[in-house]
Structure 1
Amino acid sequence: MASVPLPNGRSTVALHERAEANLRFIRETMERAALFTAVPGWGMVAVGLTATVAAILSAAQPSLWRWLLVWLGEAGLALTIGASAMWHKARRQDHSLASAAARRFFLAFVPPLVVGGLLSIVLVGHGVYDLLPGTWLLLYGTGVMASGAFSVRVIPLLGLVFLLLGGITLFLPFQVANWAMGLGFGVFHIGFGLVIARKYGG
C-alpha cells in the first residue's frame, strides 16, 4: 500500500505499517507487564519435604564436612525438583520459560544464588561453617524477594520471611541454625507452596 503524499512534500506512513507498529507496541507492552506465574506450588512442597529430611539427617552428622555434603545434596535435589516442576507447570499453562517475564524473573533470582555459592566457597575455605546457614537463608530470600517483583504477590512475602529468618540465624548457635534452615527451606516452602498450588494453579 503506497503512502499518500502531502502538500509540503512529506508523506504519511502507510496504514498497514502503522497498524503493525501499533500492534508490536501493544504486544511488547503486554509482555513487559505480564507476570511470571509458573512458580510451582507443588514443587515447593516437594522441596520443603526433602529439606525437612535434610535438616534431620544433617543434625546427626559427626563432622561439619559431612553436614555440608548433606545440604549440598539437598540443594542439588531441590534444584532438580524445582526446575522440573516449573517446566511442567509452564507447559500446562502454555507459558514459555523464554518469555520476557520469565527472563526478568530469572535475572532477579539467579545472581543472589551465585553470590551465595561464591561466599560459601570462601567461608568453607576459612572454616567458618557457622555463618553458612544464615548466609544461605539471606541470599535465597534476596533472590526470591527480587524475582517476586515479576511474579505473583505471595512470592515477595516468602522472600521477606526468608530474609528475616536469615538475619536472625546469623546470630544463632550452629546447631540451632541448622534447624532454622529446616524451618525456612522445609516448613516455609511447604506452607507457601500449598498457598501457591491452591491459588495459582498448582
Structure 2
Amino acid sequence: MAATPLRNGNPTVTLHERAEANLRFIRDTMERATLFTAVPGWGMVAVGLTAGVAVVLAALQPTLWRWLLVWIGEAVLALTIGATTMWRKARRQDHSLASAAARRFFFAFVPPLVVGSLLSVVLVRHGAYDLLPGTWLLLYGTGVTAAGAFSVRVVPLLGLAFLLLGSVTLFLPLPLTHWAMAFGFGALHVGFGLVIARKYGG
C-alpha cells in the first residue's frame, strides 16, 4: 500500500521520503559530533610554504648541525601556525578543542610526534643525519594517519602519502632527502591543505 502523500509547502513528500530525510539529518549530526573537523586547510598551506623556505635554507647550511637547527625552527613555526589556525577554525565553527572528538584526534596525533623527537635525539647522537628525514616523514605520517581516523576522510589519505614517501626516503642519501622533504612537508601540505580549505570550510 503506497504511503499517503503529505503536503509540505509546494512539494508533495511521502512518509518514506520524510523518514529518509530525518535519518540523513541524524546521521550527519552524529558524524559531526564524532569527527574532528577543525583541521585547518589554510594553515596546512601556510605550513607547506614555510617548509619550502626551510628546504632552501637548510640546503645552504655549511654544517649538518646548522641544517638540523633550520628544521627544528621550521618544526616550531609549523606547530605554532597549525595550533593557531586550528583554534581559529574551531572557534569559527563553534567547536570546542576540548570535545571528545578533539581529544581522540590529539591523543592519536601527538604520541608519534613525541616518538619522532626522541628518535631524532638518538640519531643525532650517533651521527645518523641521513636517517632523520625519513624518520620525520614516517612518524608524522603515522600521527596524521592515526588522527585521521577521527577526522574528515582526506586527512588519513595525507598520512598514507607521508608514510609512502617516508619509506622511500629512509633509503635515500642525504642530498636527495632535500627533495623528499620539499615534496612531503611542502607540496603535500599545500595540495591537501587546499582540498581541506575548499571542501571543509577553511
Whether TM exceeds 0.5 here: the answer is yes
* Identity, % of aligned positions: 81
CA, structure 1 residues 32+39, in 2 after alignment: closer, same or farther (shift >3 Å)?
A: closer
Normalised by the length of structure 2, the TM-score is 0.84
Aligned to 2:149: 149
Number of equivalenced pairs: 175
**So what's the TM-score if we normalise by structure 1?**
0.84
Instruction: Name the CA shift for 1:37/1:76 in 2 (closer, same or farther; >3 Å).
Output: same
- CA offsets 1:54-95 (integer angstroms, 9 cap, x no match): 001101110000000000000000000000000000000000
- Structure 1 runs of 4+ with >6 Å offset: none
Match runs of 1:91-130 below 5 Å: 91-130=91-130
Counterpart of 1:51 in structure 2 is 51
Kept in 2: contact 1:137–1:184 (CA 8 A): yes
Whichever residue aligns with residue 43 of structure 1, its letter is: G
The residue number in structure 2 matching 1:90 is: 90
- State the structure with more CA Rg: 1
Do structure 1's residue 40 and structure 2's residue 47 form an aligned pair?
no
Tell me the equivalent position of 1:187.
187
What is the distance in 2 between the residues matched to 1:145 and 1:172? 23
* Per-residue deviation, residues 122-180 of structure 1 (Å, max 9, x unmatched): 00011110000000000000000000000000000000000000000000110111221
Preserved contact between residue 32 and residue 101 of structure 1 (Cα < 8 Å): no
Q: Unmatched 5+ residue regions in structure 2?
A: 1-25
Counterpart of 1:38 in structure 2: which amino acid? A
Q: Deviations over 1:1-36 (max 9, x none)?
A: xxxxxxxxxxxxxxxxxxxxxxxxx9xxx4896100
Amino acid at match of 2:84: S
Alignment partners' CA distance in 2, 1:87 and 1:34: 18
Structure-2 separation of matches of 1:32 and 1:42: 20
RMSD: 1.6
Mark the runs of 5 or more structure 1 residues left unpaired by the alignment. 1-25
Letter in 2 for 1:165: L
- Aligned pairs for 1:121-140 within 5 A: 121-140=121-140
The aligned amino acid for 1:102 is A
Larger mean CA deviation between 108-117 and 33-42 belongs to 33-42
